[in-house]
Structure 1
Amino acid sequence: MKLTIERAALLRALTHVQSVVERRNTIPILANVQVEAEASGRLRLTATDLDLSVVEDVPATVGQPGRTTVPAHTLHDIVRKLPDGAEVELALDAAKGQVKLTAGRYASALSVLPAEDFPEIAEGNLPFAFSLPADELKRLIDKTRFAISTEETRYYLNGIYLHVAEGPDGRRLRAVATDGHRLARVEADVPEGAAGMPGVIVPRKAVGELRKLVDEVDAEVSVALSETKIRFVFGDVVLVSKLIDGSFPDYERVIPAGNDKMVRIDCKPFAAAVDRVATISSEKSRAVRFSLTDGRLDLAVTSPDNGSASEELTVDYEGQHIDIGFNSRYVLDVAGQIDGDLMELAIADGASPVVIRDTADAGALYVLMPMRI
């Protein structure tokens, strides 16, 4: 194997694939990226952790086709530190079990492991296929992933539930995430080809890698899936992930329908005020008391260690006095997803879940569980 490639192109592709590789691996080959020089003049890079794989093709000048595997993070760090505009040559010395990397006056030799030992995720049959605009996919991810659970015992909550559901306006593609304290549900039009798809749970790590990759895409993203695997294709990049094998809970049951007390709040001043008063809250609870009266919201925090803080906001509310407590971090997470100037809260009482809507995005809905304070 021998090839030459421009440093910027190699760095971009390595950045995409190497982040899949875990820093600590009990299986040595999983610490490596597969480097394959194709006779067609392409370099193919592949990285996997057995649950998730990313493959990217980039143009290269191929002197001799072949493939091997090299330490992913080491190769990425070397290329990252090379000067802009450098031409990088990679050449396999099979006798020494090394890949020689040269760029100008720089040279290094990296130990390799046999490409034959490198695992591949078999995609299998992916019968459901559709395309989504990159911006729509970003929206579905950004407005839900903050609510993904990190509690491993409830593994079925460790991802985004992607499915087609019947709503008041007909069938909609929905992305849902919850950790039991907050819930995010975002809707989009059902793409052609998605109508019969099964509900699938895309794992947290796959969501994170997908979000980084889609950030550089303006075109359509091709999606194909089965009940066990999902594949995303954008340009020369292919991401394949196993899906979480579990049943997502019936989230509709926790979305209250009878909350009749409506509050409209200017989102940015509200978030800034919550952040200010929460500064002295205890690290563990982060509790903030919300006291609602006609036209006014009082925020208050009392901490036995740090003292107290309060702030008054003018809001659009007419109704009886309500006291309700929230974890300030959860409130700020939701406020950070609001695109419009106003957020709308639907409240039943001081002990029931609150529904939050974005006045600028009718397809986004959030639920916050209150806490005792």
Structure 2
Amino acid sequence: MRLTIERGALLKALGHVQNVVERRNTIPILSNVLIEAHDGSVTFAATDLDIEIIDGAEADVERAGAITVPAHLLYEIVRKLPDGAQVRLDLSSDDPRVTVTAGRGRFNLPVLAAGDFPAMSSGTFDTRFSLERSALARLIDRTRFAISTEETRYYLNGVYLHSATGDSGLALRAVATDGHRLALADHPQPEGTTPVSGVIIPRKTVQELRRLLEDAGEEVEIAVSEAKIQFSFGRTTLTSKLIDGTFPDYTRVIPKGNSRVMTVRNDEFSRAVDRVATMAAERSRSIKLTVGDSKVVLAVNSPETGAATEEVEADYKSETIEIGFNAKYLLDISSQIGTGEARFEFADAASPTLVRDGNDPNALFVLMPLRV
């Protein structure tokens, strides 16, 4: 194998694939990136056996071939090369290493046979549809913060993607919950596509996909089967196993009759929460909201760290209610709402609170209260 490729194109392709490679591996081949040189192009693939990312770039290929080299090592070498450098990768039959040459620099990297690289068989996908990049990014951003990190409840360790009936008709819906909070976002079901019956996309896949979307074009092709999901855009393809489990019936925890409604300027409210939470105990991060006529008072009273209060203007006409929340969870939800209005719908101090974005009727958040 012998090829020459521009440093920027090589760095971009390697950057897309090498993140999936774990830093510590008991299986040596999983530390490597598969390089396959064809006529006029080269592809790169990396996997951890659960996720596979493939990307490609144009290259001047003198001799086709395939080999695997240490992913992070090659990426670091290319990252430190000067902009615009022409990088030459050369593997000869009489040298068990691949030579990377750029300018006056020369690096020899160990290799493993391409035939030993585990490819994730794409198989047959039952459902295929395309989605705008911005729409997919929104579904991820609105929900991923609520993914559970508790490994014993593995079925909550991802985003549940499925078709559901929303306020505006059939929608592609993303849901995530960790049992303390829930995030839900809808997007109109793409026309002419088969409804998605329901799949759980693992947390790592969600994070990698969101990172890759920064360089994606306008459209993302999505293919779904019972065991896998695949996202394709441009030269990039991400294939991932799905979580084999049953997502709980999340609709049961979304409150329907919360009649006490508070509307606040979200940016003012979130900044106040952040300031007052500075005094909260590290373990619980609890903060008390006293919601009364035209205002909400945020308070923390900790025997360990001290006390703090701050008042924020609010539109509220019901009877006064005192309710506690985890300040971090409040801030996570506020970060999704941005500079618009946040609408809080309360029932009582012990029942779930519904939070809506005043600018986005197709998203909602549920927050469980704390005792304060």
Tell me the TM-score range normalised by the shorter chain: over 0.9
Distance in 2, matches of 1:32 and 1:192, equals 40
Structure 1 equivalent of residue 285 of structure 2: 286
Deviations 1:4-43 (A, max 9, x none): 00000000000000000000101000000001111x2111
Q: How does 1:180-195 map to 2 (within 5 A)?
A: 180-195=179-194
Distance 1:206 1:359, change over 3 A: same
CA distance in 2, matches of 1:340, 1:53: 37
- 1:73 and 1:266 map into 2 onto residues whose CA distance is 45
> Hey, what does 2:305 align to over in structure 1?
306
Matches within 5 A, 1:115-264: 115-264=114-263
Task: State TM-score, norm by structure 1.
Answer: 0.98
What pairs with 1:1-373 in structure 2 (closer than 5 Å)?
1-38=1-38, 40-373=39-372
Tell me if the contact between 1:151 and 1:158 (Cα under 8 Å) persists in the aligned partners.
Answer: yes
For 2:92 and 2:209, the matched residues in 1 are separated by 34
Secondary structure at the aligned position of 2:69 is classed as strand
Counterpart AA for 1:69 = T
The 8 Å contact of residues 339 and 360 in structure 1, kept in 2 or not, is answered as no
CA contact under 8 A between 2:50 and 2:240: conserved in structure 1? yes
Which amino acid in structure 2 is aligned with residue 345 of structure 1? F
Structure 1 residue identity aligned to 2:148: S
**In structure 2, distance between residues paired with 1:219 and 1:101:** 34
CA distance in 1, matches of 2:15, 2:137: 19
Q: Give, in angstroms, the shift of residue 149 of structure 1.
A: 0.5
Task: Give the Cα separation in 2 of the matches to 1:234 and 1:276.
Answer: 42
1:56 aligned partner, one-letter code: D
Q: Secondary structure at the match of 1:211?
A: helix
Which contiguous aligned blocks of 4+ residues in structure 1 show a shift greater than 4 angstroms?
A: none
- Deviation string, structure 1 residues 245-283 (Cα, Å, up to 9, x no partner): 000000000001010000000000000000000001111
Cα distance change on mapping 1:184 and 1:222 into 2, 3 Å: same
Name the stretch that deviates more: 192-201 or 256-265. 192-201
Q: Quick check: 217-226 or 61-70, which moved more?
A: 217-226
Q: Secondary structure at the match of 2:315?
A: coil
SS at match of 1:232: strand
The 3-state SS of whatever aligns with 2:67 is strand
State the Cα distance separating 1:227 from its structure 2 match: 1.0
1:97 and 1:251 map into 2 onto residues whose CA distance is 55
Structure 1 CA distance for aligned equivalents of residues 131 and 371 of structure 2:
42
C-alpha distance in 2, partners of 1:33/1:127? 29
Once the two structures are TM-superposed, the CA of residue 95 in structure 1 deviates from its matched residue by 3.1
Aligned residue identity for 1:22: E
Question: Tell me, what secondary structure is at the counterpart of 2:91?
Answer: strand
- Aligned pair count reads 372
Q: Which amino acid aligns with 1:365?
A: L
| TM-score normalized by the length of structure 2 | 0.99
Deviation of residue 340 (structure 1)?
A: 5.0
Asked if structure 2 preserves the Cα contact closer than 8 Å seen for 1:3 and 1:62, the reply is yes
What is the CA RMSD across the aligned residues, in angstroms?
A: 0.9
In structure 1, the residue corresponding to 2:196 is in which secondary structure? Answer: coil
Whole-Å separation in 1 of the counterparts to 2:352 and 2:250: 13
Separation (CA, whole Å) in 2 of partners of 1:244 and 1:89: 40
Give me the whole-angstrom Cα distance separating, in 1, the residues matched to 2:192 and 2:299: 50
Q: Give per-residue Cα distances to partners, 1:163-221, cap 9 Å, x unaligned.
A: 00123432111000000011000000001354332200011111011001111224110
- Unpaired runs of 5+ residues, structure 1, are none
- Structure 1 Cα separation of the partners of residues 338 and 321 of structure 2: 27
1:339 deviation in Å? Answer: 4.0
Runs of 5+ in structure 2 lacking a partner? none
* Secondary structure of 1:143's aligned partner: helix
CA distance in 2, matches of 1:296, 1:6: 59
Q: Which moved more, 1:225-234 or 1:331-340?
A: 331-340
Deviation per CA, 1:43-87, whole angstroms, max 9, x where unpaired?
A: 100000000000011000001000000000000000000001100
Q: State the distance in 1 between where 2:271 and 2:231 align.
A: 37
- Cα deviation for residue 93 of structure 1 reads 3.0
CA distance 1:340–1:187, change in 2 (3 Å): farther
Q: In 2, Cα distance between the equivalents of 1:154 and 1:271?
A: 30
Q: Would the aligned equivalents of 1:340 and 1:359 in 2 still touch at CA under 8 Å?
A: no
2: CA distance, partners of 1:236 / 1:339: 33
